[in-house]
Structure 1
Amino acid sequence: MGLLLSGVLVWQASNAAFVGVTSNANNSWSAGTVNLTNDSGGTPMFHVTQMVPGQSGSRCIEITSASSVPVDVKFYTDVTALPVDDIRPYIDITVEDGTGGTFASCAGFTPSGGTEFTGTLQNLTTTRTTYANGLGPWALDGTPPDKLSFRISWQFHADAPPVAQAGSTPNVAFIWEAQS
């Protein structure tokens, strides 16, 4: 009888008369997006033929981020196989970031203050080859559309040696990459 009574007391103590429950339903997660485009329409910024010493030019491009999260944008290059008569050492390149200016025209381009790169095309294409060693970063806050403008200028050395005649460069890709 004592054993039965103690079993009932233990059962009653572990089966409470009052109960309270709460829950938090419908939890979910979704990833942000990172997206960059430019206004070139797939047209190369430069396709210069028959250059002569001292010749120069520049083009602008507008990069637009539709990223939904903050990102850092960097600029770097990629080249195809080098030609035998490579003239990259004789082409000076300047890369500036700023506002205004588009692929159609640099009218309205305003530099942000500092030049991001000045040197030869050879130096640019051998030192700025990945996101890790690219120019920048430019921080964007993830509120689309975030826009960056760049002006890239070039000049064929006025004192390019005769061996540069009929020379060429490899195809150079200018790459802007965003990472969050």
Structure 2
Amino acid sequence: MQDAHPRSGRSAKVVAAAVVVGLIGSGALVWQASSAAFTASTDNANNSWTSGSVTLTDNDFGGANFNETNLKPGDTGTKCILVTYNGSVASSVTLYSNTPTGTLGQYLDLDVSVGSGSTCASPGTQTQIFGDVNTVPDNSSDTLDNFAAAHTDWGTGAGTWTPSTAGTAKPYTFTYTLGGGDAAQGLSATGVQFTWEAQSS
């Protein structure tokens, strides 16, 4: 069936021209929209986090510093133990112990000092952190039992060493003297563990 109103050649040309103009116009709008804003960016790449550590070792090789038997009044002994800090952050180190098993601890005068040097062979200047200048147990402040009662954890620990560099070492010197006379016969103080603890500051 033929169109009852066939388009003239002129009207067809007008329609075609309108389509072309429309396409050109929409393209211009897209170009204008895409070119209407400047852009820029910056970034901060490769962020990361690691935690530090606190680590202590000593040179006791798993053994006790003291294993004394058949002591008599006036017997004395001195031992040094070297404690080394291998952490990566600044810390505070204190010394404490548990309560001895047995009752001889009340008759053992105890002195503990920290050296300014870095080895037991060359401890440097000694700073006393527990005890007094004499070797007579006074049974109120300077015995093994007194140490255990006064220094029970990091917060109440003796001494304040503040290492910040791995490999820093301190010599701790322990000196005991047995007193008590006849009252100290046949007694013992066993199971004593001296503990150094570091907490980051």
TM-score (norm 1): 0.81
- Structure 2 partner of 1:36: 56
More helix by share: 2
SS of equivalent residue, structure 2 residue 149: helix
Q: Which residue type is aligned with residue 97 of structure 1? A: V
Aligned residue among 25, 43, 68 for 2:88: 68
Contact 1:60–1:101 (CA<8 Å) still a contact in 2? Answer: no
Structure 1 CA distance for aligned equivalents of residues 166 and 119 of structure 2? 19
- Does the CA-based 8 Å contact 1:96-1:111 persist in structure 2? no
**2:46 counterpart of 1:26:** yes
Distance (whole Å) between structure 1 residues aligned to residue 95 and residue 67 of structure 2: 20
Is the 8 Å Cα contact of residues 79 and 170 (structure 1) preserved in structure 2? no
Q: Which runs of 4+ in 1 moved over 3 A?
A: none
Is 1:126 the equivalent of 2:126? no
Q: Which residue of 1 aligns with 2:4?
A: none
Residues in 2 aligned to 1:152 and 1:16: alpha-carbon distance in whole angstroms: 81
Distance 1:59 1:144 in 2: 25
8 Å contact kept, 1:75–1:174: yes
**RMSD, aligned α-carbons:** 2.1
CA distance in 2, matches of 1:75, 1:28: 35
Higher relative contact order (CA 8 A, sep 6+): 1
Corresponding position: 1:88 with 2:105 = yes
User: How far apart are residue 147 of structure 1 and its match?
Assistant: 0.6
The percent of aligned pairs where both chains have the same amino acid is 32
Q: How many Å separate the matches in 2 of 1:127 and 1:161?
A: 25
Instruction: Tell me which residue corresponds to 2:22.
Output: none
Instruction: Report how many aligned residue pairs link the two structures.
Output: 159
Rounded to whole Å, the distance in 1 between the matches of 2:111 and 2:55 is 26
Q: Give the CA deviation at 1:137.
A: 1.3
CA shift digits 1:60-104 (9 cap, x unpaired): 011111111111111110136x33xx11111000000002543xx
In the alignment, what sits opposite 1:137?
Answer: 160
Q: SS of 2:73's equivalent?
A: coil
Alignment of 1:147-158 (within 5 A): 147-157=169-179
1:109 to 98, 119, 123: 123
- For structure 2, the residue ranges without an aligned partner over 5 or more in a row are 1-28, 132-141
**Greater shift after overlay, 164-173 or 53-62?**
164-173
Instruction: State the Cα distance separating 1:144 from its structure 2 match.
Output: 1.6
Q: Check conservation: 1:93, 1:121, Cα contact below 8 A.
A: yes
Residues 169 and 16 (structure 1 numbering): CA distance in 2 closer, same or farther, change over 3 Å? Answer: farther
Correspondence for 1:4 = none
Measured after TM superposition, the shift of residue 111 of structure 1 is 2.9
Distance across 2 between alignment mates of 1:28 and 1:100: 35
2:37 is the alignment partner of 1:17: yes
